[in-house]
Amino acid sequence: MLDHTKAKLRKLENKDLSTILEWRNHDDIRKWMVNTSIISYDDHLKWFIRNQNRTDRHFFVFEYMEQQEGYISFQKIENSKAYEWGFYIKPNTQKGMGFLLGEVSLAFAFRHLNIGKIFGQVLSFNQKSIKFHQNLGFFQEGILRKHFKDERGEFDIFQFGLFQSEWLER
């Protein structure tokens, strides 16, 4: 059983970029993404420089026992109090680490960033992420039918939402 007291988020730093990019480009992570392309380090660095000082976006490294275990982002949706989240855990990590990342990240977002709502989108073939959102208390708010198409096929996108008040009532 993982110990919540040994988990934390810290702001993404330049020193983390290589590791985070390595995880993002790993086959086990990329296959669940809308953009399945390999990202170059130069493009990754440009993204970081372009976004690091924005106040409407937050990027974190998830650590357990002071070891990097995942990545989490919150990006404000324009004209809304909601933020869309994105996340992944390092490949081949300990069982339960993803759920711990979710719980720690949501608690941080709602309690420390004072975000009013977290919004997530999941490709319909990613049953693990759909169940993950449901287990964290998200409500399915919509389905964008046949909204995404690539070489893998045509898929629905499931939309999930969780309000700060719903999380804090748990």
Whichever domain contains 50, its CATH number is: 3.40.630.30
Say how many CA atoms lie within 13 Å of 107 toward its Cβ: 13
Q: Rounded distance, CA 156 to CA 136, Å? A: 21
Confidence of residue 13 (pLDDT cuts 50, 70, 90): very high
Confidence of residue 102 (pLDDT cuts 50, 70, 90): very high
H or E element, residue 61:
strand 57-64
pTM here is 0.93
More confident residue, 36 or 111: 111
For 10, the token pair is 């810290």
Domain that holds residue 21: 4-169
**Domain tally for the chain?**
1
Confidence of residue 63 (pLDDT cuts 50, 70, 90): very high
Q: Rounded distance, CA 124 to CA 152, Å? A: 12
Cα distances from 43 to residues 118, 120, 124, in angstroms, run: 27, 24, 28
pLDDT at 33 over 90: no
Output the pLDDT for position 3: 95
Output the pLDDT for position 170: 84
Question: For residue 164, which amino acid is it?
Answer: Q
Output the pLDDT for position 75: 97
Q: According to DSSP H, which parts of the chain are helical?
A: 17-25, 27-30, 41-51, 97-111, 127-135, 164-169
Length of the chain: 170
For 117, the token pair is 């709502």
pLDDT at 55 over 90: yes
DSSP 37: S
